[in-house]
Amino acid sequence: MTQPHPQGIHQKQVNLQVLICFQTQRWIWFSKTIILMAVLGFAELLLAFLVFVSIYYSRLNRHAPITKWPVLGMLPGLLFNVSIILDYVTMLLKHHGGNFMFEGPWLSNMNIFFTSDPMNVQHITSTKFDNYGKGDDFKEIFQVLGDGIFRSDSQLWKYNRTILHSAFKQVSFQLFSDRTIKNKIESCLLPFLDHACKQGTEVDLQDAFQRLTFDVICSIVLGFDPTCLSIDFPEVASEKAFTEIEDALLYRHVMPRCLWKLLNWLQLGKEKNMKENVEIVEQMLYKEFISKCKVQSQSSGNNRPEEESRFSLLDVLISEEGKGKMDDKFLRDTAINLLAAGRDTISACLTWFFWLVATHPSVESKILEEMREKLPSREGNGKDLGVE
Q: Is the pLDDT assigned to residue 366 strictly greater than 90?
A: yes
Residue type (1 letter), 205: L
CB 310 within 8 A of CB 223: yes
51 belongs to a structural domain: no
CATH of the domain at 324: 1.10.630.10
Whether residue 81 is found in the same domain as residue 223: no
Question: What's the average model confidence in pLDDT over 171-178?
Answer: 84
Instruction: Indicate the number of domains in the chain.
Output: 2
Question: What's the average model confidence in pLDDT over 187-198?
Answer: 92
Residue 19 — pLDDT band, cuts 50, 70, 90?
very low
237 belongs to a structural domain: yes
Residue 208 — pLDDT band, cuts 50, 70, 90?
very high
Whether residue 329 is found in the same domain as residue 199: yes
Handedness of CA 71, 77, 79, 80 (dihedral sign): positive
Q: Is the pLDDT assigned to residue 159 strictly greater than 80?
A: no
Instruction: Tell me the DSSP string of 359-377.
Output: T-HHHHHHHHHHHHHHSPB
Whether residue 189 is found in the same domain as residue 271: yes
Question: What's the average model confidence in pLDDT over 124-132?
Answer: 82
CA 224 distance to own-chain centroid: 24
The pLDDT of residue 359 is 94
Whether residue 214 is found in the same domain as residue 334: yes
162-166, 205-209, 292-296, 353-357: lowest mean pLDDT where? 292-296
CB 345 within 8 A of CB 353: no
The pLDDT of residue 364 is 95
The residue that leads in pLDDT, 193 or 63, is 193
Nearest residue to 340 via CA among 218, 230, 253, 251 = 218
Q: For the chain, give the percent of residues with pLDDT over 70.
A: 72
CA distance 178 to 309: 19
Q: What is the mean pLDDT of the chain?
A: 78
Whether residue 346 is found in the same domain as residue 256: yes
Question: What's the average model confidence in pLDDT over 194-208?
Answer: 90
Q: Is the pLDDT assigned to residue 256 strictly greater than 90?
A: no
Question: What's the average model confidence in pLDDT over 232-240?
Answer: 88
Whether residue 257 is found in the same domain as residue 172: yes
Question: What's the average model confidence in pLDDT over 65-88?
Answer: 82
How many Cβ atoms are within 10 Å of 192's Cβ, its own excluded? 19
Crossing angle between the packed helical segments 205-222 and 171-184, to the nearest 10 degrees: 150
Whether residue 117 is found in the same domain as residue 206: no
74-83, 227-236, 243-252: lowest mean pLDDT where? 74-83
How many Cβ atoms are within 10 Å of 51's Cβ, its own excluded? 10
180 belongs to a structural domain: yes
The pLDDT of residue 65 is 79
Q: Is the pLDDT assigned to residue 234 strictly greater than 50?
A: yes
The pLDDT of residue 4 is 54
Whether residue 91 is found in the same domain as residue 232: no
CB 102 within 8 A of CB 123: no
Question: What's the average model confidence in pLDDT over 34-50?
Answer: 61
Which residues of 107-198 form beta strands (DSSP E)? Answer: 112-115
218-222, 256-260, 318-322: lowest mean pLDDT where? 318-322
The pLDDT of residue 57 is 64
pLDDT digits (tens, 9 = 90+) for 298-350: 555 444 444 445 577 877 777 766 555 667 788 888 888 888 888 888 888 99
Residue 99 — pLDDT band, cuts 50, 70, 90?
very high
CA angle 83, 88, 89 (to 5 degrees): 120
Q: Is the pLDDT assigned to residue 62 strictly greater than 70?
A: no
Whether residue 78 is found in the same domain as residue 211: no
The pLDDT of residue 42 is 59
* pTM summary value: 0.70
Instruction: Tell me the DSSP string of 218-268.
Output: HHHHHS------STT----HHHHHHHHHHHHHHHHHHS-HHHHHHHHHHT-
Residue type (1 letter), 354: F
90 belongs to a structural domain: yes
Residue 118 — pLDDT band, cuts 50, 70, 90?
very high
Question: What's the average model confidence in pLDDT over 112-128?
Answer: 89
CB 46 within 8 A of CB 54: no
* Domain membership of residue 174 as a residue range: 160-297+308-353
Whether residue 266 is found in the same domain as residue 220: yes
Whether residue 97 is found in the same domain as residue 186: no
